Amino acid sequence: MTPYDVVLLDLDGTIVDSAPGIQSALRHAITTGFGIVPTQADLEEFMGPPLADVLPRVFGLTDPADEQRFFELYCEVYFHGAEYEFDVYPGMTELIGDLSAAGIRLALATAKPDESATRVLEHADLLQYFTFVGGSHVDGSRQDKVDVLAHTLEQINAESSLHRIVLVGDRALDERAARAHGADSILVRWGYATPGELDEAGATHVVSRVDELRTLLLPEPAGLISPSPVGG
């Protein structure tokens, strides 16, 4: 028996490296809409958290109208080509296929709009492995990961009292969402977390390589190295 019968996967920073396309759209939105030239560090702040959390903290934009304007300008670029500027992390295609073949139910749980996430998975030839794609609304609502996870679990009829559920993501907010719903969490180090973020997140596991993630999700083949302990 596999350790989990329901595996929820984050998208950006977990399955795909989508930073080039996302940051191109972010740069367009903040420069065109507000005359601000962002630094690379500014752009990296957006890789994971909702816009409503990042815009006030990084650029001092607190007016809801500014958030809406930013989102509209972002969409002008991202949904017209930039969303396909990504690479699947090595080993993730094979792992996702093997999880599906093992009878594990897979669902996506991302703050990205669900229509865009569906297109990304389809472009990566991964959509067929997922029973549901859970994301935010295209209007920018339901961005909080706790809400995304609630929606996803409801749609696939999964709950922690009846199923062995784990969320795999790359930010501390993924751990908080999993904990809010009584699920385990596995955080991956190849994504967009800030230094020290994952060690302090309190996740069930933290891994540095895809083969470590495979060991946690599927029966461990002989010879694989054990996963790194949390804080390692």
* Segment 42-77, tens digit of pLDDT: 999 989 887 778 999 999 999 989 989 998 999 999
User: Which overall architecture, per CATH, does domain 19-84 show?
Assistant: Orthogonal Bundle (1.10)
9-18, 137-146, 176-185: the lowest-pLDDT one: 137-146
pLDDT mean over 214-224? 72
Q: Note the Cα 157 to chain centre separation in Å.
A: 21
* Rounded Cα distance, 120 and 112, in Å: 10
The residue extents of the domains of the chain are 6-17+87-217, 19-84
User: pLDDT tens-digit profile of 112-166?
Assistant: 999 999 999 999 999 999 999 999 987 767 889 999 999 999 999 999 888 999 9
Asked whether residue 1 carries a pLDDT value surpassing 80, the answer given is no
pLDDT of residue 140: 67
Of the CATH numbers 3.30.160.270, 3.40.50.2000, 3.90.850.10, 3.40.50.1000, which one belongs to the domain with range 6-17+87-217?
Answer: 3.40.50.1000
Asked whether residue 229 carries a pLDDT value surpassing 70, the answer given is no
| Helix 145-155 with 172-180: angle, nearest 10 deg | 50
List residues bridging with 105 in a β-sheet: 6
User: pLDDT tens-digit profile of 70-124?
Assistant: 989 999 999 999 999 999 999 999 999 999 999 999 999 999 999 999 999 999 9
* Rounded Cα distance, 5 and 135, in Å: 21
pLDDT confidence tier of residue 221, bands split at 50, 70 and 90: low
CA distances to 27, 49, 96, 187, 196 from 192, in Å: 17, 11, 20, 11, 12
- Beta carbons within 8 Å of 212's beta carbon, 6+ residues apart: 224, 225, 226, 227, 228
pLDDT confidence tier of residue 225, bands split at 50, 70 and 90: very low
Query: Among candidates 128, 132, 91, which has minimal Cα distance to 7?
Result: 132
pLDDT of residue 223: 42
Asked whether residue 172 carries a pLDDT value surpassing 70, the answer given is yes
Q: Note the Cα 147 to chain centre separation in Å.
A: 14
pLDDT of residue 4: 97
Phi, psi (deg, nearest 5) at residue 165: -115, 140
pLDDT confidence tier of residue 231, bands split at 50, 70 and 90: very low
* Rounded Cα distance, 212 and 24, in Å: 32
